[in-house]
Structure 1
Amino acid sequence: METRSSTPAGNRRGDSDINQVGMTQKSATAVVQSLNKALANYQIFYQNLRAFHWLVKGHHFFELHEKFEKMYDNASEAIDDIAERILTLDGTPLHSYEDYLKNAEVKSVANPSGESPMVQAAIENSQVVLAALRAVIDESAQQGDDGTNDMAIGFARQLEKDIWMLNAWLG
């Protein structure tokens, strides 16, 4: 396991193997790879949630319209934070839809319809994103990256709550 230097990154200007947050490039690269996987999944998840928000109809329109909006707002915040964390680790976040589609395990939902199928798809998408976040949590813990770990745990906690609430809605 790669460990961080006990010397702050600012004091190691001549050491090109240590990045700006004091991690080795090898450790940071491993974390960045897992973050990019989570980023790709979040991007497709986000777009699915936008579609559900726009296209939901039925007796529960108001509550689901609002819930899907809250979920895509949370996803949007996570996307931005993940991309910025990748940059903090001296990596490059995936940034094209082609890259997202190629790297995501969440599948784009075409022509969503029906309240229950949308909720079920939101649950399944959330579970995939949660699995990607757990991979980030595992990798960042292994690499000693507390900042990434803390961030990912917060996003995972929110997704776990959303999964519980959506399952409760389905009954």
Structure 2
Amino acid sequence: MAKLNSIGLDIQKSKVLAEKLNELLADYSIFYQNVRGYHWNIKGDKFFELHDKFQELYEDLFIKIDEVAERIRTLGHTPNHKFSIYQKEAKIKESSEVADGIQDMKDTLESFKIIIILQREILDLSADAEDEGTNALMSDYISEQEKLVWMYSAYLK
């Protein structure tokens, strides 16, 4: 019989999940800071609409960062908290140009693509581990973000 953690999940599978969730935490953290930069520095005729949209997005990302970190703790592991680690592990990179709304939106869509792909990988791992908590979290995030990708893509057309 497999060794189980405090919530009844296989210890080794939980470790793998926590590692992947830490990757997601890194991507979310860099994405969050990028979006804060877009919000603070946006210029031009789309200022008012994009300024508000970027604020909505970074507030949502802030919540997700906390939920992912708490899920890692629930699995019995430690969430990374250092930006030096995030910068090494994240597939999303820091944005250098943050005042061009169209480019910011394109960068946002690329960040969502990276995150959704990783979340689908975590969803598969959590299903294999019979981890309904992580599974539900990823499923909710994916469906919500797919809708945002559609809306932001429509905005760019």
> Please, what TM-score do these two structures have when normalized by structure 1?
0.88
Letter in 2 for 1:140: S
- Cα distance in 1 between the residues matched to 2:146 and 2:16: 25
Q: Summarize deviations over 1:115-166 as a string: whole Å, max 9, x none.
A: 1111101111111111111111111111111110001111112211111111
Map 1:94-109; keep pairs closer than 5 Å: 94-109=80-95
* Match of residue 27 from structure 2: 41
Segments ≥4 residues shifted beyond 6 Å: none
Runs (5+) with no aligned partner, structure 2: none
SS at match of 1:108: coil
Paired AA for residue 154 in structure 1:
D
Q: Is 1:132 paired with 2:118?
A: yes
Counterpart of 1:83 in structure 2 is 69
Q: Which residue of 44, 47, 58 maps to 1:72?
A: 58
Structure 2: distance between partners of 1:112 and 1:133: 26
Q: Tell me the percent identity.
A: 35
Aligned to 1:63: 49
Q: Which residue of structure 1 aligns with residue 140 of structure 2?
A: 154
Aligned pairs, number:
157
- Do the aligned residues in 1 keep the contact of 2:112 with 2:145 (CA within 8 Å)? yes
Q: Distance in 1 between matches of 2:60 and 2:144?
A: 8
Q: Is the 8 A contact 1:41 1:132 kept in 2?
A: no
Aligned partner of residue 162 in structure 1, secondary structure:
helix
Give the TM-score normalised by structure 2: 0.95
Provide the aligned C-alpha RMSD in A: 1.3
Amino acid at match of 2:95: V
Write 1 or 2 for the structure with the bigger share of helix.
2
Report SS of the residue matched to 2:81.
coil
Higher CA-based Rg: 1
Preserved CA contact (<8 Å) 1:116 1:170: yes
Counterpart residue number, 1:32? 18
Q: Aligned partners of 1:113, 1:63: CA distance in 2, in Å? A: 14
**Counterpart Cα distance in 1 of 2:32 and 2:54:** 10
Are the counterparts in 1 of residues 10 and 129 from structure 2 also a CA contact under 8 Å?
A: no
